[in-house]
Amino acid sequence: MRRLLLALPFALLPLAIAQAAEEHDHDHQHASLSAHEHGVGRLNAALDGQTLELELDSPAMNLVGFEHAASTPADKAKVAAVRAQLEQPLVLFSLPQAANCVLSQQELNSPLFGDKPDADDDHDHDHDHKDAKDAKDADGHEHHHDHSEIHAHYQFTCSQPDALKTLDLAQVFKTFPATQKIQVQLISPNGQQGLEVTAKAATLKF
């Protein structure tokens, strides 16, 4: 499968935090590029002819509400529910019916889905908290060592791509309210842009 997004995996991300650059020092900016930050998701979007590709990466905390391996029935039910929501991208991303987009490829990956478990998944609950406490004591900030990500990749074939004037992420924020902002890299016939969207400003233009 030809993946449009591989060409510029993170090339535009510095633009997405351009506004933050005025308020943070350079070291903090650099760290934020690859940081696992709760409340913040990342979306790559590319439109090339009739092919639309979307790639969403998010801390599991934003979508599921936890990042440990699901062991209780309630946790497993929550993971299953989130996976089912991610399996409906036409609804999740509010793609306009006029564009006549059909999902041609879909890939969901996460340690919570049983994919590539994190090393820390085997750690017990107390040990995880001890690690976090030690990290907090060392520098005054709390760091968790059991981070889990959820990765969703979609490819659509849209017979009327001219109808894709905007990408509305409002349903993403509504479905996953713990997501406070999404850093977006957008590649379209009109060029490339990096920006940040929130629930109050969730629409971007192709």
Instruction: Give which of 65, 179, 171, 54 is closest to 112, Cα–Cα.
Output: 65
Q: What is the largest CA-CA distance in the chain?
A: 56
**What confidence category does residue 63 fall into, taking pLDDT thresholds of 50, 70 and 90?**
very high
Strand partners, 44: 55, 185
pLDDT, tens digit (0-9, with 9 covering 90-100), for 120-163: 333 333 333 333 333 333 334 444 446 799 999 999 999 999 99
Phi, psi of 70 (to 5 degrees): -70, 120
In the chain, % of residues over pLDDT 90: 62
User: Is residue 183 over pLDDT 90?
Assistant: yes
pLDDT, tens digit (0-9, with 9 covering 90-100), for 98-129: 999 999 999 999 999 986 544 433 333 333 33
Identity of residue 28: H
pTM for this one? 0.71
pLDDT for the residue 115: 67
First vs last C-alpha separation in the chain: 23
Distance CA 160, CA 158 (A): 5
Which are the contacts of 132, defined by CB distance < 8 A and separation ≥ 6? 142, 143, 144, 145
